[in-house]
Amino acid sequence: MAYDLEFEKPLAELEKKISALQRKGDRLKPDELVQLQEHERELRQKTEDIYKHLTTWQTVSVARHKDRPYSADYIRLMCDDFFELRGDRSFGDDHAIMAGPAKIDQQTVMLVCHQKGRDMKERQFRNLGMPHPEGYRKAQRLMKQAEKFKMPIVTLMDASGASPGLVDEERGQAEAIASSLYLMPRLRVPIISTIIGEGGSGGALAIGVADRVLMLENSIYMVAAPEAAATIMWRDSAHASYAAENMRISARELLPLGLIDEILPEPLGGAHRNYKQMTATLKEAILRNLAEVSALSTDEMLERRYQKFRKMGAFGNLEAQTLAGSI
């Protein structure tokens, strides 16, 4: 898979040299073989250096990479069985939300996932992964079903936001998101959520109120897309990179704030470079966290879930407390 992001240009040049030598196959001369090995070592070292020091805006580029694995890819590689359920029993089905019972290593769970499209046709079909109100109502229906049958809930978040169209507002988008936010803290089964790409605003949070919130290393979790934030603050989306750096939306910035619980390491160069390795990491983390949460009593689990989100946004220093008291 080619290095095709702007900041990966030095890697792309090295990759071309390696490919040119590899095409010679058995015709490689001894000095060319040594050169090939040196180029491969240099490529790995440079990749490690670049990805170790990604800016937030560069992280946004990786999170949005066109080849990054989507929920359907993880379901295919991670689940022994998956049966998709459709419809909200009120208006219709929303293809931006894939959901249904699944088995992960003999553990039965209810999966609720955002799903983007890989090509133009699928992107239209999936509405770019931005759910309509019926998508959230479908999610609520299946979460209640999971609670009834005592099935843990696993959600995969990857949406830039909820669908913002006029028809969505007419069908009650705000109410649908609010209902999800009201329902999830009260569900009496374990909930594990993972941000696998973009976690955008209420569109993501509506399936993200969980006992454990995990985040892939190069994913983002945000109140608004950097472009939208830049337009609001400076009336110009060209300032998106500056907005991203100041919004603190990367995993490494969110973990110390307590907004997420764990960062899942990605393969060198991003999750899109090794689907199987990333899936194995995700699968292990989901099962481990499910086991830990399931060991709690239901009352203790619900109390911890409540306290987890209740504490978010609390002022933690004297200056902030003083400022708050003066308002």
Cα–Cα separations (whole angstroms), residue 185 to 138, 245, 255, 293, 308: 17, 31, 21, 14, 10
pLDDT of residue 121: 93
Phi then psi for residue 221, to 5 deg, are -135, 120
**pTM of the predicted protein model:** 0.89
pLDDT of residue 42: 79
pLDDT of residue 6: 84
pLDDT of residue 49: 87
Give pLDDT tens digits for 100-133: 999 999 899 999 999 998 999 999 999 999 999 9
- The residues near 287 (Cβ < 8 Å, ≥ 6 apart) are 104, 105, 107
Residue at 119: amino acid letter: D
Q: Which class does domain 61-311 fall in?
A: alpha beta
CA quadruple 222, 91, 96, 145: dihedral positive or negative?
positive
Task: Express as a percent the part of the chain with pLDDT over 90.
Answer: 72
CA distance 313 to 324: 13
* Residue bearing tokens 């009834």: 148
Segments making up each domain of the chain, as ranges: 6-53, 61-311
pLDDT of residue 61: 94
Phi then psi for residue 293, to 5 deg, are -70, -40
pLDDT of residue 32: 67
CA distance 172 to 169: 5
Q: Assess contact for 192 and 212: CB atoms under 8 A.
A: yes
Phi then psi for residue 122, to 5 deg, are -70, -35
327 residues of the chain, pLDDT tens digit each: 677 788 888 888 877 777 776 777 767 667 666 666 777 787 788 888 888 999 999 999 999 999 999 999 999 999 999 999 999 999 999 999 999 999 999 899 999 999 998 999 999 999 999 999 999 999 999 999 999 999 999 999 999 989 999 999 999 999 999 999 999 999 999 999 999 999 998 899 999 999 999 999 999 999 989 999 999 999 999 999 999 999 999 999 999 988 999 999 999 999 999 999 999 999 999 999 999 999 999 999 999 999 999 988 776 654 444 444 444
- The residues near 318 (Cβ < 8 Å, ≥ 6 apart) are none
